[in-house]
Structure 1
């Protein structure tokens, strides 16, 4: 029976450092453990670990053991330092007496710290330098070939451990961002109404489908009084969280101006106020498209304004009319003027409001579904309840695009008008 040789203390310490490579530790913890472990293994009096900043070219002190705070902050070290250059070129640089070596930039600080000799080796990962490991002793010379071999071995483990720790930190950060995006998506979807208010003569269905978890689309229903329902659909030009934040703010503006000012202000005045507020909020290149409509179920009319949005569609008797009256997108020019149109609604009319993500959806050949397909389906398949029309439109679009990934949000609202009260 073969008796296993008991590992030496150095071998045990080296094994402990090796385990850091596989450990899921934060970068600061890894560096502190490595600095202490290297001193224990080599018998040096102190250790410093500097990591290379690719942007500045400086080597930033990230961890030390056995060094004072004053020495840690003695001054910058760059990759152009002669010792660093030699280490990055593959040398193990030994300085026997730091007190009178011209390569030492901070000789006075080293003497005050009681450091006499120094060993510097590079930490490399996949032949790319990531930093340096330095060992110090309080006497002249003393670093041997064994020390160099051990320092190189430890530096190699350091490089891998540091790289893994960076990946670990990025993974944690990615998870946190993903959680924030998920939470933002939940909050945004709570702002999108699950259903429209019950109004006589109207059957309404809607759907919102963000492509990035959160996005810049919005639709809303505001019951202004017993007979009037405001329907809004809008699109912030942008994607993800910034667009969602802008849209949530804009939704609040719409509700404040529409709900509170419906009887005090004309629609043109409300749109003008929304445009002015959007101009204050939007930055260069940002703007908002909006289709704003008020349906009066007593008079059976719809008053609307299209602010640079996709035209609303009115289907009547197999024919489609585009609802384009309005003006410029919001958030570009405060002096912009807007037209308002009032149309009569009839039994079995269908209204369709949507964002451009509906028609801009592409298949694997990068061909867009397009407005012609939408008009054809809306003309031919707009039968039954409003939710059936929504389903039919999206089903036909899905047949066209298949499983191709989309890059824009989709919002769709369908209104079916009935002369029956309910």
Structure 2
């Protein structure tokens, strides 16, 4: 009798061991399959997609999600969540995502729920008719740091998720962490290379657009300078030789930075040159340029511009200020602003623009600048301001156009100190000398 009991016990042990070995072999096969799948791609999105599909297949669930936590800053360390899923079910509500990630971020441990509607952590599930019944979520961690979540929903089994499921999903998450991180680093590197190439192209466009030399006009002293920020902005200036004794001068500021701003800058230059050379009125040049700009760019791109036509024979200046910083006009030590013109370009096709004509007297000076000067900030994030610019002008009125420009730039650089230049600095000084 005792021998029979012992034999039965040994048989049970062998069956249990056989079952354990069978599960272990199945798990190894699953892990090998997933490892083969996710290491076959270098794309972050593809790695995540394949990982989710494999989990859905092998754990026999209806939905799976990977959420990657991207660090933004110390105050909000987990801002952006990237999710990939493979399911015909509707997307989970934001409130559920928020509750789940909040719990996981706090506890950093697996979460297994086989009756979600009766779980106090998701007590709102009945109110919104949540399309899930069971849930298993595990952290994706690398070197002790949580970098994301791997979650599966709705086990296709009446008994729900088991401890073995939890263990397997945890192993998958651990196995995938390095692959995900490497793919993420590769993506960041590729994005950096793309940004560097865009920066190079933007820089090249800006260099090619700006005039190679300042025009020499008898009776006038003219100088212009552009100092680009680290991230190329959209400042632009130009001199356009017109028929007779006329020249067009302009200085503009394009919204945005980088390649989009540089391309809009090139578009604006080509448009203005084409319009200016048709011998239209200044106001019509601006009006037509505005229409062309609206028709050729997206609605969130626009430009401010000061455009003027100088007749250096009779010394008349006809100008239009399209939403640009007020141009400083100094005559007999008295300061005024040239503001007349209209709205900025590229926004409103109904915008009206006017032109104003004035005569430049000997000794009179115009200072046209971009907000990269007045809005330049020091390390305390205090702006340079127009007041300091005016003070420099009034104290150095006798300087040549180049000397005055260099003086202004030097003062701005001194003021900002070690603070990084955040915007282009562009300046044009025009003085009638006789």
- Quote the offset at 1:392 in angstroms: 0.4
- Is the partner of 1:175 in helix, strand or coil? helix
Q: State the TM-score, normalized to the length of structure 1.
A: 0.65
Render the CA deviation track for 1:52-73: whole Å, top value 9, x for unaligned: 2689998635xxxxxxxxxxx9
> Structure 1 residue 189 and structure 2 residue 207: aligned?
yes
Provide the rounded CA distance (Å) in 2 between the counterparts of 1:56 and 1:30. Answer: 16
- Quote the offset at 1:78 in angstroms: 8.1
Q: Which residue of 1 aligns with 2:350?
A: 334
Over 3 Å counting, the alpha-carbon distance change for 1:131 and 1:161 in structure 2 is farther
Render the CA deviation track for 1:234-277: whole Å, top value 9, x for unaligned: 22344444444333322222111102x22xx2223323323444
Matches within 5 A, 1:255-266: 255-259=273-277, 261-262=278-279, 265-266=280-281
> Structure 1 residue 163 and structure 2 residue 181: aligned?
yes
Q: 1:267 aligns with which of 268, 271, 282?
A: 282
Render the CA deviation track for 1:3-28: whole Å, top value 9, x for unaligned: xxxxxxxx9xx99x99x999995447
Provide the rounded CA distance (Å) in 2 between the counterparts of 1:77 and 1:316. Answer: 70
* Contact residue 253 and residue 274 of structure 1 kept, 8 A: yes
Provide the rounded CA distance (Å) in 2 between the counterparts of 1:59 and 1:29. Answer: 10
Provide the rounded CA distance (Å) in 1 between the counterparts of 2:321 and 2:67. Answer: 52
Render the CA deviation track for 1:13-47: whole Å, top value 9, x for unaligned: x99x99x9999954478689999xx9xxxxx9x9x
> Structure 1 residue 60 and structure 2 residue 85: aligned?
yes
- Is the partner of 2:139 in helix, strand or coil? strand
Structure 1's unaligned 5+ residue stretches are: 1-10, 39-43, 62-72, 94-119, 133-144
- Quote the offset at 1:328 in angstroms: 1.7
Q: 1:246 aligns with which of 235, 253, 264?
A: 264
* Contact residue 58 and residue 76 of structure 1 kept, 8 A: no
- Quote the offset at 1:195 in angstroms: 2.2
Provide the rounded CA distance (Å) in 1 between the counterparts of 2:189 and 2:310. Answer: 50
- Quote the offset at 1:191 in angstroms: 1.1
- Is the partner of 1:250 in helix, strand or coil? helix
- Quote the offset at 1:221 in angstroms: 0.7
> Structure 1 residue 233 and structure 2 residue 247: aligned?
no
Provide the rounded CA distance (Å) in 1 between the counterparts of 2:406 and 2:312. Answer: 25
* Contact residue 343 and residue 351 of structure 2 kept, 8 A: no
- Is the partner of 2:85 in helix, strand or coil? strand
Q: State the TM-score, normalized to the length of structure 2.
A: 0.63
Over 3 Å counting, the alpha-carbon distance change for 1:411 and 1:184 in structure 2 is same
* Contact residue 341 and residue 355 of structure 2 kept, 8 A: yes
Over 3 Å counting, the alpha-carbon distance change for 1:203 and 1:162 in structure 2 is same
Q: Which residue of 1 aligns with 2:19?
A: none
* Contact residue 287 and residue 329 of structure 1 kept, 8 A: no
Over 3 Å counting, the alpha-carbon distance change for 1:352 and 1:77 in structure 2 is closer
Q: Which residue of 1 aligns with 2:9?
A: none
- Is the partner of 1:351 in helix, strand or coil? strand
* Contact residue 112 and residue 166 of structure 2 kept, 8 A: no
